[in-house]
Amino acid sequence: MKASDLFVKALENEGVEYIFGIPGEENLDLLDSLSRSDSIKLVLTRHEQAAGFMAATCGRLTGKAGVCLATLGPGATNLVTAAAYAQLGGMPMLMITGQKPIKTSKQGHFQIIDVVDMMRPLTKYTKQIVSGDSIPSHVREAFRLAVEERPGAVHLELPEDIAAEETSEEVFSASLVRRPTAEDKSIRKAVELIESARHPLLVIGAGANRKLTCRMLRQFIETTGIPFVSTQMGKGVVDEEGERFLGNAALSDHDFIHRAIERADLIINVGHDVIEKPPFFMRHDDRQVIHINFFSAQVDPVYFPQVEVVGDIANSIWQINERLETQDRWDFAYFKKVREAAESHVREGADDPRFPIYPQRLVADVRKAMPANGIISLDNGVYKIWFARNYKANQPNTVLLDNALATMGAGLPSAMAARLVFPERKVMAICGDGGFMMNSQELETAVRLELNLVVLVLRDDAYGMIKWKQALMGLEPFGLDYGNPDFVKYAQSYGAKGHRVEASDELLPLLQRCLETPGVDVVEVPVDYSDNDRILNHEIKELSQQI
C-alpha cells in the first residue's frame, strides 16, 4: 500500500471526521489518498491559522484530537499561533505538515525550515516520519499524547518521498486507557476538611470541563448545596443560572465573587489550570485549599494547597460525594448576599437604552437570543471580560473563549468548527472589529460550507482593550485607532448577509431573526466602552465592599 494511503487509514482508525487546512505540493500524495476516504472530509480554509483554530476547537468540543494540514515552510509557520492556542488552551490537536523529499532532494533549501524543531516548544510531540512503515506507531502515539491529560498540540511531518513509499504495515488499534483514581487517604482527608469547614466554596476551573466531571460536579453541588464560582475557562461546567452560582472570575480582583472567596474558610479547587489567572492567592495564615485535579499542584508562591486529591477528577468528586455527610455547621448566608448583590448589578445594565450599545446591554441581549445549548465563540477584546462576567452559561462548552493564549482571530474560526461539530445548535461568533479582521477571510469558507452562523462584529474603530489599558496607565491616546470596511458590504461581497444595528433596541430582534434564518449573517454593532473603567474599576469595587 502507498504510505499516504496508510496514513489516511491510520487517521480513519482514530475516528477523524474533518481535516482543516491548505495543502501544498508536498501534500499532494496525502491529498490524493484523502480523496478516497469515506469518513474524512477535507475543509479547505483561506489561512492555515484559521484551520488550526478550527481543528483545536473540534478537539476542545469532542475530546478527540482535531486535525489540520499545511505544507512545509510558510504553511507550517502559519500554524504556529494555532499550535500555541491548542497547547496553552489544553485542546487536543494534530498538525500534519509536508516536507521536501528527505532522501534525495535537488532543490537546495527552497522553503525549507526545520518545522519539527520549530514546533518543539509548542507541542507535546513533534516528529518527522522517516519511513512509511513507522506511520501506524507515530500516528497512534500522536493521538494518544494529544488527548492525554493535560491535552494539547502534537505535530507530524510527512515528507513527500515518504508519503509516496510502499509499505505493508497495518494500522495500530487504539485501546481505551483508564486514568488512575485518587488514593483513599487523600479522599478521606478532603472529606474531613469539607465536613469541618464553616464556609466551604467550590472553584471550578478549565480542567473540570470534561463530560463525566461536569455530571459529577452537578451532583455534588445538588447534594451538598455548596456554592461555586467559575474561572473563565470553567464556564458552563455547571449551569450558572442555578442558585449556587456566585459569579465568574473575569476580573482579577475586587469583584463581588472576591468577597465570597475572602469569606470562605475552605476552597475546593477543581481542575485548576495554572494557565488561567487564579481567582485567589493563598497566604500562609489564611484559608484551607483542597486541590482536586489530574495532577498535583504546580509549585507556586501563592498556591500551596493543604490537601491534594490527585487522579481522575470525576472519580474524585464522586468518591468525596459518596462519603460526605451534609453538615449543619455550613453557613452560606454571606454567599447568598454576594449572589444577590452581583445579580442585581448585572440586571441594572441589561436595559440600558444608550447607543452605541453598552456592554451590559449587549451581553443581556445575546443571552436572551441564545438558547440554553447555543454556543457563543468569543474573540479577544474588552467584551470578553463582560461576557465572561455577565453571560450565564447553562451547559459545558457553550462559551468558547480563550483565556490561555488569549489570541485575537480565533472567534470566527472556532464558531465555524462548533457549527460543524454541532450542526443542530445555534452558534454565534462575537468579535471586536480588530479580531474579526484577523481571520475574516474565512467568511468565504463559512459561506462555501453553507454554515448557519451569526457573526457579531463589535465596532469601536480601535484596538479597544489596549486603548483602555493605555488610559489606565495615564498615557496619552496614541497608535490604536483605525478605519474599518463597510461591514455590510464586506459581508455581502462574500455571499453572506450583512446587517448594521442603528439603535440599541434593534439588536435583540435582529439577532433572533438571524438565528432563525439559514446562512451566514454578519451583524455590525457599534459599541461604547467609555463607561468600562467607571464600572469595572470603581463601581464594582465600591458596591462589593458594601456586602
Ligand X SMILES: Cc1ncc(C[n+]2csc(CCOP(=O)(O)OP(=O)(O)O)c2C)c(N)n1
Q: Does 432 bind ligand X (CB under 6 A)?
A: yes
Q: Does 434 bind ligand X (CB under 6 A)?
A: yes
Name the residue nearer to ligand X (CB basis): 44 or 466.
Answer: 466
The least CB distance from residue 481 to ligand X, in Å, is: 10
> Which residue, 29, 34, 6, 5, is CA-closest to 19?
34
d(CA 66, CA 87): 12
**380, 395, 414, 532: residue in contact with ligand X (rule CB under 6 A):** 380
Q: Which three cell numbers stand for residue 278?
A: 487564579
Name the residue nearer to ligand X (CB basis): 513 or 534.
Answer: 534
Mask 113-142, x = binds ligand X (CB under 6 A)? ------------------------------
Q: Does 465 bind ligand X (CB under 6 A)?
A: yes
d(CA 451, CA 427): 10
How many other CB atoms are there within 10 angstroms of residue 446's CB atom?
24
The least CB distance from residue 372 to ligand X, in Å, is: 26
State whether residue 140 is helix, strand or coil: helix
**220, 355, 383, 487: residue in contact with ligand X (rule CB under 6 A):** 383
Name the residue nearer to ligand X (CB basis): 305 or 434.
Answer: 434
The least CB distance from residue 409 to ligand X, in Å, is: 6
Stretch in the footprint of ligand X (CB under 6 A) among 116-124, 132-140, 239-247, 403-411:
403-411
CA–chain centroid gap for 7, Å, is: 29
List of residues 6+ apart from 306 with CB closer than 8 A: 193, 288, 289, 290
Q: Does 408 bind ligand X (CB under 6 A)?
A: yes
> Which residue, 268, 263, 439, is CA-closest to 335?
263
Stretch in the footprint of ligand X (CB under 6 A) among 2-10, 297-305, 433-441, 488-496:
433-441
**Helix (H) or strand (E) segment spanning residue 453:** strand 453-459
The least CB distance from residue 112 to ligand X, in Å, is: 26
Peptide bond into 323 cis (omega under 30): no
Q: Does 275 bind ligand X (CB under 6 A)?
A: no
Are 295 and 301 contacting, i.e. CB atoms less than 8 angstroms apart? Answer: no
d(CA 146, CA 126): 11
Name the residue nearer to ligand X (CB basis): 262 or 461.
Answer: 461
Stretch in the footprint of ligand X (CB under 6 A) among 35-43, 178-186, 354-362, 373-381:
373-381
Stretch in the footprint of ligand X (CB under 6 A) among 5-13, 105-113, 234-242, 428-436:
428-436
Name the residue nearer to ligand X (CB basis): 236 or 411.
Answer: 411
Q: Does 387 bind ligand X (CB under 6 A)?
A: no
- SS3 letters for 259-306? HHHHHCCEEEEECCCCCCCCCCCCCCCCCEEEEEECCCCCCECCECCC
- Cα angle value 418/419/421 (rounded, 5°): 65
The least CB distance from residue 232 to ligand X, in Å, is: 14
Q: Does 463 bind ligand X (CB under 6 A)?
A: yes
Cell numbers 496553552 label which residue?
A: 88
Phi first, then psi: what are they for 288, rounded to 5°? Answer: -85, 150
> Which residues in this chain contact ligand X in the complex, by CB under 6 A?
379-383, 406-409, 432-435, 458, 460, 462-466
